[in-house]
Each structure stands twice: as structure tokens, then as C-alpha cells.
Amino acid sequence: MKKIFSIILFLVMGLFLFGFGVAMLIEDDVSCGGKVMSEGDECVQYKDGVEVGTNSLAEQRASDQRYGYGGLVVGVAFLATGGWQIYRTFANKAKTPVA
């Protein structure tokens, strides 16, 4: 039962992350704090209420793309791990002799 749970967890997380990556890459609008950015806008970033930096539209678009590619890579890794676990589970059952 624990093995089935981990397989499902890896597959669900993989699908979620892969979908997140695709969504980030196909999105045309660049947003900052939930607001769509336009040319000349700056995205101000805060940490613990203190301004730590700003991004232009191009920099924010590049950041979004990095997150998108990261989601794709990690999502594929999770899906591959889940697939490998499925293979090992069923390969071991096929090799187990029936008494």
C-alpha cells in the first residue's frame, strides 16, 4: 500500500509540475504581483517587507521562463521516477514464483 501511495504521489506531482512549466512557457502576459506588466514597468521584489530588487519587463519574462523550464525538468523527473517505480513493482511481481 505504501508503494502504491508513493507511485501516485510521484505521478501527480510530476503532472502538476509539468503542467505548471507548460503554462509558464505559453503565457504571453508577464505579471508582477498579479498585475500584468507593460513596457516601462518595473517589478519590485520584497523580502520580509524590505525591497531587495527590481526587474524590468524583459528580466521578469526571463525569470518566468526559467521557472517554466524548471517546472518541466522537475516534472519529467517525477514522472520518470513514478514510471520506474511502476516498472519495478510489476517486474518484481512477474518474477515471483507462484507456489
For each successive 10 residues of the chain (99 residues), what is the average pLDDT? 88 96 92 90 91 92 94 97 91 66
- Which pLDDT score is estimated for 79? 97
Own/partner contacts of 60-64, CB < 8 Å, gap of 24 or more, are: 60/30, 60/32, 61/30, 64/24, 64/27, 64/30
- Which pLDDT score is estimated for 99? 60
- Which pLDDT score is estimated for 3? 84
Domain that holds residue 48: 2-95
- Which pLDDT score is estimated for 83? 94
Task: Count up the domains in the chain and report the number.
Answer: 1
